[in-house]
Chains A and B, each alone.
Chain A
Amino acid sequence: MPPGSTPHAYTAIPGWVRALAVVAAVVVVLPLLAMVLRVDWTHFVPLVTSESSLTALALSLRTSAASTVLCIVLGVPLAVVLARDTFRLQGLLRSLVLLPLVLPPVVGGIALLYTFGRQGLLGRTLDVLGLQIAFSTTAVVLAQTFVALPFLVVSLEGALRTSGSRYEAVAATLGAPPGIVFRRVTLPLVLPGLASGAVLSFARSLGEFGATLTFAGSLQGVTRTLPLEIYLQRETDPDAAVALSLVLVAVAVAVVALAYRRPAAARTGSGRTTAAAPAGGNVT
């Protein structure tokens, strides 16, 4: 059989694989459904629009937007260096950068505490500069950036490797300096990857809980983001907690839908850049 062709016989899936796939889907979907069924719809709007809920939602959106910007500013260069450069200990650096993906967030919170806290590694230096990070909104943004950065780096590095460096090489031989190549060739090529990475980072920031609770504390309007508010409401008002959880689920669904519109995004992304570089999709 010639490589590359995919005969139908090979795509047949054994029955037990299908069966387990159904179980897997149920494992994910059923708890969400159970939660939706518990929502107290008659009081949904007042529960969700209470002052503390709105404050928490606003804080969550503001901090997540800030940490997404931070992730882009710091994550793009890191992804480029990891994908394009070769240097000693590159593999080690990549593994370390990905650690927050698998670390329990509370561990991240403890690590941040011993870095930026008053008694931490940088705490005294920051104190001298008049910066106090613990218990501030800055701490929330730092915690979110710490856990969300790997999502952007992974997405973007993958996109960079897939797009290859041929066009960059061509641009360079035509006399474009590295700065121009980066801005006019590299970035436009990986824009879809960057976009989905940014969306995933935003979603991860929005859901951040453990590191925030450990590192930033919990105070209304300052550090109590929506997940922390849900955790607290659960103590006294489970209905409010369920209603707020649904809001977060809705946001998450929207974000995932946005991130997985990839084929369409890729087309528009590369379409705009045809002037600068031949789009990947046009080359066969």
Chain B
Amino acid sequence: MMRPRMTRLPIPTARARALAAVLAAGALLPAVLTGCAPAGGTTAGADERTGARPAGTITVFAAASLKGTFTELAHAFEAANPGSSVTLSFAGSSDLVGQISQGAPADVFASADAANMQKLQDAGLADGTPRNFATNTLAIAMPPGNPAGIGSLKDLARPGVKLVTCARQVPCGAAAAKVAEAAGLELRPVSEENAVTDVLGKVTSAEADAGLVYATDINAAGGKVAGIGFAESQGAVNTYPIVATTTSRNKATAQAFLDLVTGAEGQKVLAAAGFGPADASGQGK
């Protein structure tokens, strides 16, 4: 190891060191940037190729509303398949599609709606036909005690009621608009949020009198919000499709996780969280 401490450096050497530093930093940067990303099943080895037991690491990108259920299912998967590991990443479906398109290492993508799954398919990143595994409908969330006395969807259009919904550009907002239109109601929300979690936040903090969220969100919020369902919600049912990605390096394990979600155990966990069963006609099995 050369340690030119306290020695007089001729200029060329200084230049060379500067160059070396640039090169080193340049080489380091991508490593730093990708350092936090999970390794996409590179350690699985030959096991997966032979189609034996699922093993190795898979990364599952799932819609934010699946956080509770998929966390539970990932633990179940790891317990049933020793040597396997599931890394989960939750965000809005459109964010996730964007990330996968930009090269994020996802093995499985579970979307909260068909539109975002279509985007993944259009990008040529869906491996096979997506399978529908759950449905979700809208429900009305109110602060505990229901200060505005909301009892039905029609009450949301009452003047003076502070209603918060998602913006039309996101799935929960599109569903809200569809439901309102079908019911012939003109909703005037005081805020149109980007994500259903933001709507829920406005309701739990009691800033809003009511919010249109998914039925499963009310379940997951526990006692922090009161909720009522409404018949009109059946006019805008969100279907959740799931698929493995073409970029997956651990296809066998990804497929096994898909089977778990669409199988009896997955369906039981999803139903317990308030998800509806998926319409069999949409399945591509």
Query: Which of B94, B194, B207 sits near A134, CB closer than 8 Å?
Result: B207
User: Is the Cβ of A23 less than 8 Å from the Cβ of B15?
Assistant: no
Task: Say yes or no: is B189 at the interface (Cβ < 8 Å to chain A).
Answer: yes
User: Is the Cβ of B22 less than 8 Å from the Cβ of A23?
Assistant: yes
Q: Which of B17, B25, B162, B164 has the most CB of A within 10 A?
A: B25
Docked pose: A234 CA to B17 CA in angstroms: 43
Q: Report how many residues on chain A are interfacial, defined by Cβ distance under 8 Å.
A: 30
Contact with B along A115-140 (1 / 0, CB 8 A): 00111000000000000001100000
Task: Say yes or no: is B205 at the interface (Cβ < 8 Å to chain A).
Answer: yes
> Shortest Cβ distance from A214 into chain B, in angstroms?
7
| Chain A interface mostly | helix
Task: Say yes or no: is B206 at the interface (Cβ < 8 Å to chain A).
Answer: yes
User: Is the Cβ of A219 less than 8 Å from the Cβ of B190?
Assistant: yes
User: Is the Cβ of B17 less than 8 Å from the Cβ of A16?
Assistant: yes
User: Is the Cβ of A16 less than 8 Å from the Cβ of B167?
Assistant: no
Given A118-B207, A119-B205, A135-B207, A19 and B22 contact (CB-CB distance below 8 Å): yes
Docked pose: A15 CA to B14 CA in angstroms: 6
Query: Which of A113, A117, A217 sits near B193, CB closer than 8 Å?
Result: A217
> Shortest Cβ distance from B238 into chain A, in angstroms?
15
Q: Report how many residues on chain B are interfacial, defined by Cβ distance under 8 Å.
A: 31
Contacts of A213 in B (CB 8 A): 193-194, 198
Task: Say yes or no: is A11 at the interface (Cβ < 8 Å to chain B).
Answer: no
Contacts of B118 in A (CB 8 A): none
User: Is the Cβ of B207 less than 8 Å from the Cβ of A117?
Assistant: yes
> Shortest Cβ distance from B252 into chain A, in angstroms?
34
Task: Say yes or no: is B229 at the interface (Cβ < 8 Å to chain A).
Answer: no
User: Is the Cβ of B15 less than 8 Å from the Cβ of A235?
Assistant: no
Q: Which residue of A lies closest to B21 (CB)?
A: A19
User: Is the Cβ of A15 less than 8 Å from the Cβ of B18?
Assistant: yes
Q: Which residue of B lies closest to A213 (CB)?
A: B198
A-B contact count (CB 8 A): 77
User: Is the Cβ of B194 less than 8 Å from the Cβ of A235?
Assistant: yes
Task: Say yes or no: is B169 at the interface (Cβ < 8 Å to chain A).
Answer: yes
Contacts of B18 in A (CB 8 A): 15-16, 18-19
Query: Which of B21, B162, B167, B201 sits near A218, CB closer than 8 Å?
Result: B167
Given A23-B29, A235-B170, A15 and B193 contact (CB-CB distance below 8 Å): no
Q: Which residues B1-47 have CB closer than 8 A to chain A? A: 14-15, 17-19, 21-22, 25-26, 29
Contacts of A231 in B (CB 8 A): 194
Contacts of A216 in B (CB 8 A): 191
Q: Which of B19, B92, B167 has the most CB of A within 10 A?
A: B167
Task: Say yes or no: is A60 at the interface (Cβ < 8 Å to chain B).
Answer: no
Docked pose: A213 CA to B26 CA in angstroms: 37
User: Is the Cβ of B194 less than 8 Å from the Cβ of A218?
Assistant: yes
Q: Which of A14, A235, A236 has the most CB of B within 10 A?
A: A235
User: Is the Cβ of A217 less than 8 Å from the Cβ of B17?
Assistant: no
Task: Say yes or no: is B251 at the interface (Cβ < 8 Å to chain A).
Answer: no
Query: Which of B26, B92, B191, B198 sits near A23, CB closer than 8 Å?
Result: B26
Task: Say yes or no: is B83 at the interface (Cβ < 8 Å to chain A).
Answer: no
Contacts of A220 in B (CB 8 A): 192
> Shortest Cβ distance from B11 into chain A, in angstroms?
9
> Shortest Cβ distance from B29 into chain A, in angstroms?
7
Q: Which of B26, B98, B205 has the most CB of A within 10 A?
A: B205
Docked pose: A19 CA to B206 CA in angstroms: 53
Task: Say yes or no: is A271 at the interface (Cβ < 8 Å to chain B).
Answer: no
Contacts of B198 in A (CB 8 A): 213
User: Is the Cβ of A223 less than 8 Å from the Cβ of B167?
Assistant: no
User: Is the Cβ of B191 less than 8 Å from the Cβ of A135?
Assistant: yes
Docked pose: A213 CA to B201 CA in angstroms: 11
Contacts of B190 in A (CB 8 A): 135, 217, 219
> Shortest Cβ distance from A227 into chain B, in angstroms?
12
> Shortest Cβ distance from B41 into chain A, in angstroms?
29
Given A134-B207, A213-B198, A19 and B15 contact (CB-CB distance below 8 Å): no
Given A15-B15, A22-B22, A235 and B191 contact (CB-CB distance below 8 Å): no
Q: Top 10 closest A-B pairs, CB basis? A: A217-B191, A15-B18, A19-B21, A135-B190, A235-B169, A16-B21, A15-B14, A236-B169, A19-B22, A23-B25
| 10 CB-based A-B contacts, threshold 8 Å | A16-B17, A18-B18, A22-B22, A135-B191, A213-B198, A216-B191, A218-B167, A224-B192, A232-B194, A234-B98
If A20-B21, A135-B208 are given as contacts, then 13 extra A-B residue pairs at C-beta distance below 8 Å, sorted by A number, are A15-B14, A15-B21, A18-B18, A117-B207, A119-B207, A213-B198, A217-B202, A218-B191, A218-B193, A220-B192, A232-B167, A235-B167, A236-B94
